[in-house]
Structure 1
Amino acid sequence: MRSPAEISEAVGAKMRDRLQETLARRAELLGVGVDARAEAAGKAGTGASTAASAAASAVPAAASIGEAVRHEWAAPPMHSDAAIRAQTGQGWDEWIDAIDAGVGRDAAHPRIVEWVMANSAQNGWWSQGIAVSFERMTGRRLAGQMPDGTFTANRSRTLPVDREVLRELIADDAARDALLGFETEFRSKVASKTYKVLLARDGQPIGGLLFTFDPAPNGRTKFAIAHEKLQVVDEIELWKAHWGVWLDALELAFA
C-alpha cells in the first residue's frame, strides 16, 4: 500500500484543476450570492435574508400541502403537523403563536430551546426540533442552515480501506495539506472518534471539515465529510460536488 505522502500527492494532483474551478465559483457566489448569515451575533437568521424570501416564495403555504394551519411557512418544518400534534398536543400553528407570545420571534436559538423545555414536557431532542422548525417556518433559518447562520455540505462514501488507515491519513500533519489542497489545521486529538480540520487558502478561512469513520463489512469504512461554516446556501451544492470528486480521487489512489 502507498504511504500517506504518496496517497496525498496522488489525490492532490488529481484535484488541482478541480480545486481552482471550485474556488473560482465560490468567489462568484460570495460576490453575488445571497449571504444568509445572521445580521447580529446570537440572532442567527433574524431578519429574513433575500435567500429566505426566495425560499418562501418557492415553498407552498402550509394549507396547500395538507396542513390545517393559519400561518404561511417560509420553509417546511422538520415534522408534519400531525406528528407534532401527536407528540406535543399542539400543532405548528399553536407552537408559532406560543413562541411568539413567550420568548419572542427574535430570541436566539438556544433561548428558544430553553423556553420550549421550560414550558412543555418535551425533552431536549424534541425541543431542538421545535426551535429549528419555528425558525424555518418563520423565515429565520433556511433548510440546512446552522444556528449561527452558516451552512454545511455533506458527502460520504464506503471505501475499501480500513478506518485506521483513513484516520492516519487525515491526522498526518506532513501530508494533509497536499491531500486536501488547503492550508490545514488539525483540531482534534488523535484518539478522537471524529476529526476536525480547519481549512484556509492564502490565510483566508474556508470553513472546516468534520470527518467520521464508521466500520463497514469486509474491512471497509464508511467515510463521511461535513464541510462546515459555509457562508451562502449555494455553497452547499458546490462543495458537495467538489468533495464527491475528491472521494473519487481518494478511492482511485487506494486501488
Structure 2
Amino acid sequence: MSKTLTTTEAVQQATGRDWAGWNGLLDAWGATEHPHKDIVAWLVGEHGLGNWWAQTITVEYERARGLRAPGGGRDGRYTVSASKTVNVSVQQLYAAFTDGELRAKWLPDGELRERTAQPLRSARFDWAGGSTRVNVGFVDKGDRAQVGLVHERLTDTDEAEHFKQYWRTRLATLKELLENQG
C-alpha cells in the first residue's frame, strides 16, 4: 500500500474533504483518463485549491488508482529529493553548485551540465549526458542557507534508491566542506 503524502486530518482541514472524498470526486470526473497537469488544473480551477494542495491530491489519487508508483511518475520514471541547511551565505552555497572548480571539491564524480539558472535562487542541470535532470533551489536564511535538490527522470526504483543515498552523502560532504572553509 502506498504511503499517503499527508494525513487524512490535514487534507480534510485544509480542503474540506478527506482522501476518500477527493478520490470519489476525481473518479466521478473521470480523472484516470486525464494527464496529471489537467487534473491539477481542474482542482485549481473548479475547486479553488492552491497549487500545492492540487498537486498533493493529484499525486495521491494517481497512487491510489495504480497510475503512479511511490516515488515514481505516471511516465514510469522516478524522482528523488534531498535538502540541507548550511551555515554559509546563499552566495557561497549557490557558487558550490555553479562554479565547476568548487563543485569538483564535493562532487568529484558528478556530471552536471548547467541548463538554466536564476542567480541565488535556482539552477537546473543535465546529469551524465542528459538522460536525467537535477534541479536545485536555494533559500537565503540570513546567516545560513538551504539547498533543495530534485533528481528526476530516473529509470527504476534501484536507480532512485542509489541517487537518494548518493545525494544525501554528497550534500553532507558539501556542508562539511563549506562550513570548514577558512
> For this structure pair, what is the TM-score category when the shorter chain's length is used for normalisation?
0.7 to 0.9
Please point out which of 123, 137, 141 is paired with 1:212.
137
Counterpart of 1:234 in structure 2: which amino acid?
D
Partners of 2:176 and 2:51 lie apart in 1 by 42
Partners of 1:90 and 1:225 lie apart in 2 by 31
User: In the TM superposition, what is the alpha-carbon distance from 1:157 to its structure 2 partner?
Assistant: 2.9
- TM-score (normalizing by structure 1): 0.56
User: In the TM superposition, what is the alpha-carbon distance from 1:251 to its structure 2 partner?
Assistant: 4.3
Deviations 1:114-173 (A, max 9, x none): 333444343433333322221121121233334544322222333343332232232225
1:194 aligns with 2:122: yes
- Equivalent residues in 2 for 1:29-68, closer than 5 Å: 59=1
- TM-score (normalizing by structure 2): 0.74
- Equivalent residues in 2 for 1:240-255, closer than 5 Å: 240-254=164-178, 255=180
- The sequence identity of aligned pairs, in percent, is 26
- Equivalent residues in 2 for 1:25-174, closer than 5 Å: 59=1, 75-146=2-73, 148-173=75-100
Contact 2:94–2:120 (CA under 8 A) maintained in structure 1: no
Partners of 1:121 and 1:248 lie apart in 2 by 40
Kindly tell me: are residues 88 and 221 of structure 1, through their superposed partners in 2, closer, same or farther at Cα, counting changes over 3 Å?
closer
Q: Which runs of 5+ in 1 are unaligned?
A: 1-58, 60-74
Q: Give 1 or 2: higher strand fraction.
A: 2
SS across alignment from 1:196: strand
Kindly tell me: are residues 137 and 182 of structure 1, through their superposed partners in 2, closer, same or farther at Cα, counting changes over 3 Å?
same
Partners of 1:190 and 1:90 lie apart in 2 by 37
RMSD over aligned Cα, in angstroms?
A: 3.1
**Larger Rg, first or second structure (1 or 2):** 1
Counterpart of 1:207 in structure 2: which amino acid?
T
Counterpart of 1:210 in structure 2: which amino acid?
N
Partners of 2:157 and 2:28 lie apart in 1 by 30
User: In the TM superposition, what is the alpha-carbon distance from 1:186 to its structure 2 partner?
Assistant: 0.8
Kindly tell me: are residues 164 and 135 of structure 1, through their superposed partners in 2, closer, same or farther at Cα, counting changes over 3 Å?
same
Q: Which runs of 5+ in 2 are unaligned?
A: none
User: In the TM superposition, what is the alpha-carbon distance from 1:97 to its structure 2 partner?
Assistant: 3.0
